[in-house]
Chains A and B, each alone.
Chain A
Amino acid sequence: MSHTFANGFNAGRAFIYATLVFFALLYISPLYIILTTSFKDIEEIRSGNLLALPDEPTLYAWIKAWGSACTGSDCNGLAPFFWNSIRIVIPAVLISTIIGALNGYVLAQWRFRGSDMLFGALLFGCFIPFQVILLPMSILLGKMGLANTISGLVMVHVIYGIAFTTLFFRNYYVAIPSDLTKAAKLDGAGFFSIFTNVFLPMSTPIFVVTIIWQFTQIWNDFLFGVVYSGSGTQPITVALNNLVNTSVGGKEYNVDMAAAVIAALPTLLVYVVAGKYFVKGLTAGAVKG
């Protein structure tokens, strides 16, 4: 350990960095292969090197994956399913986040007899495996007339998400001194005006965390999507699966790869845009008065 370099680095440190770089490359290599493959044509994939950059980059695979690839018997690409996912995710994220915020606000600041028990019971919802509720939920959706509909999927995701969103908001709001609520009560504010005037304005970090979490969960969901959707209401994850499993002629790896990236793009985008809040929100619990 005494091999100190002139610039302050030593051998141990160099080893650490080398290891980090190695694993970073290892982790990013699948993404690299997916991206390069998606810009190659099928000839080059068959003949060329897996790791090589495309000789003649082409958008053919992307255009096909988006607009004309076959998913089962339809050949309209991923586009309709992308919009299905959007139509599921946006209401499901917003509704579950708002309910979670209100739940958390009540459980943290308006305690009542048994509120801690209720919170415990809600937490339990985080640990229920998806598979357990598949059958009862499908019966319920059928009875409600929501089977195979977008609204049905939204409802399932909202119900499943409430446990998590409540947990996030409750733990955030529990760190806020109850004197604030008391002061606002004395100032004449009611339940909702305290929420909107005092609590909402300081909730940006936790909203970002919850929205990222819920967006990722719901966008990436496959199981609920494949079970509860009809032919016209499938989310993009289900369509991607169908696209990859449908082969007319030979396997078009470049189209599969482009489709995979299209399906993953929105979650990536959400992380890039709001990622710094994510870390901030998870670590910074307390709001100092």
Chain B
Amino acid sequence: MGAIDIINVTKSFGDTPVLKNINLNIKDGEFLILVGPSGCGKSTLMNTVAGLEDVTSGQINIAGRDVTNLSPKNRDIAMVFQSYALYPTMDVRRNISFGLEMRKVPKKERNQTVDRIADLLQISHLLDRKPSQLSGGQRQRVAMGRALARSPKVFLLDEPLSNLDAKLRVEMRMEIKKMHKRLGTTIIYVTHDQIEAMTLADRIAVLSEGIVQQFGTPYEIYNDPANRFVADFMGSPAMNFIECDIEDGRLIVETDGQDYKFEVPDRDVLQKSGLKRVVLGLRPEMITEAKPDQKRQFTQEISMLVEETEPMGADTMVTGLWNSTEIQGRVSPEAGHAAKLNDKHTLLHVDTSKAVFFHLETGERVR
């Protein structure tokens, strides 16, 4: 019903290419997140799907129908804007029903729809207010309501939560996820917040410089990043990147005056690649406090000079130097506290079973 195919889409503003040959297939009912740093082209891509911007070349299909040259109103989509873009002179009721009014839906039916949606979003008591009389969270709900009113094939959400405070953002995030479960409508959701991306998406497309760097499930994106950019962008605190020499398929890491040889599952890959040096990518949660009974394959106990500790509540981040590069590990608060007292030389447990490797120059994965 609401599948979207984005085929070879290119977009340039004058001589500046913004989207370079984008190919994405979004299944019916899928929750797709477009994520990337600002200026990566994610909003432009969404606007081309909405029909608010023309594509320079390529094709966009919605529900199997070529909509590339259709105007926005004929694409059967609804959009929620970052600024909400509520009509300031209309009350909430008319804001929600305006799309139906423009589509010549009879008044009685319009009112029924508005009442149903207001009920759903718990904004029934606000129907007679003007947008200026609403709080940020309420405006957000009205903007959602306006999108829901027409029951479109596809929802486009352009950073819908970025103007809300942190607590409300988490709440609304949950509500959007529930709503998607209930309605089952295809959603494209633009954000620069990688946590939003991880928590909401069925699949994530990571964009940078107008190119889809990776398109996959949150699990794939997080654990099997296509390149250094994706690995760096997704995850907070960010993945550690350490340049290492390779010796016999093992990685040499120097820290606290001692050399360690890390065993990794991809030993033969490293050997076959013929590379002498590589960038090791290791998430902070793979570097934890040492526990005596944790010894397994692909783990290593090391001593690190902890230069800085950052308590985050549930965990404490510890910073040290590996091969003269700053890295962060994630330890329990107790271990973090001990590291501070204990002359700062701390025993850590390093799990390299999920380590990934990147080429020094290109940043592509070594596979």
Minimum distance in angstroms from A111 CB to a CB of chain B: 12
B89 pairs with A201, CB closer than 8 A: yes
With A182-B52, A185-B52, A288-B132 given, is the CB distance from A193 to B102 under 8 Å?
A: yes
Q: Does A142 contact B (CB under 8 A)?
A: no
Q: Which residues of A contact B222 (CB under 8 A)?
A: none
Q: Mark B64-108, 1 if CB is under 8 A from A, else 0.
A: 000000011100011101111111111000000011001100000
Distance of A197 Cα from B87 Cα, bound (Å): 9
A177 pairs with B72, CB closer than 8 A: no
- What residue in chain A is nearest B104 (Cβ atoms)? A188
Q: Does B50 contact A (CB under 8 A)?
A: yes
Q: Which residues of A contact B87 (CB under 8 A)?
A: 180, 183-184, 197-198
Q: Does A18 contact B (CB under 8 A)?
A: no
Distance of A202 Cα from B87 Cα, bound (Å): 10
Distance of A188 Cα from B87 Cα, bound (Å): 14
A289 pairs with B85, CB closer than 8 A: yes
Q: Does A272 contact B (CB under 8 A)?
A: no
Distance of A287 Cα from B83 Cα, bound (Å): 13
With A288-B88, A288-B132, A289-B86 given, is the CB distance from A182 to B98 under 8 Å?
A: no
Q: Which residues of A contact B77 (CB under 8 A)?
A: 186
Which of the four size classes fits the interface of chain B? 20 to 34
Q: Does B284 contact A (CB under 8 A)?
A: no
B86 pairs with A202, CB closer than 8 A: no
Q: Which residues of B contact A183 (CB under 8 A)?
A: 79, 81, 85-87, 146
Minimum distance in angstroms from A216 CB to a CB of chain B: 28
Q: Mark A88-102, 1 if CB is under 8 A from B, else 0.
A: 000000000000000
Contact of B84 among A184, A188, A289 (CB under 8 A): A289
Q: Does A187 contact B (CB under 8 A)?
A: yes
Q: Does A212 contact B (CB under 8 A)?
A: no
Contact of A182 among B81, B89, B139 (CB under 8 A): B81
- What residue in chain B is nearest A287 (Cβ atoms)? B88
B89 pairs with A202, CB closer than 8 A: yes
Q: Does A56 contact B (CB under 8 A)?
A: no
Could you tell me which B residues sit within 8 Å of A by CB distance? 50, 52, 71-73, 77-79, 81-90, 98-99, 102-103, 131-132, 139, 146, 150
Instruction: Give 16 A-B pairs besides A193-B102, A289-B86, A289-B131 with Cβ atoms closer than 8 angstroms.
Output: A177-B83, A182-B72, A183-B86, A185-B71, A185-B72, A185-B73, A186-B50, A186-B52, A186-B72, A186-B79, A187-B150, A188-B103, A189-B102, A288-B88, A288-B132, A289-B139
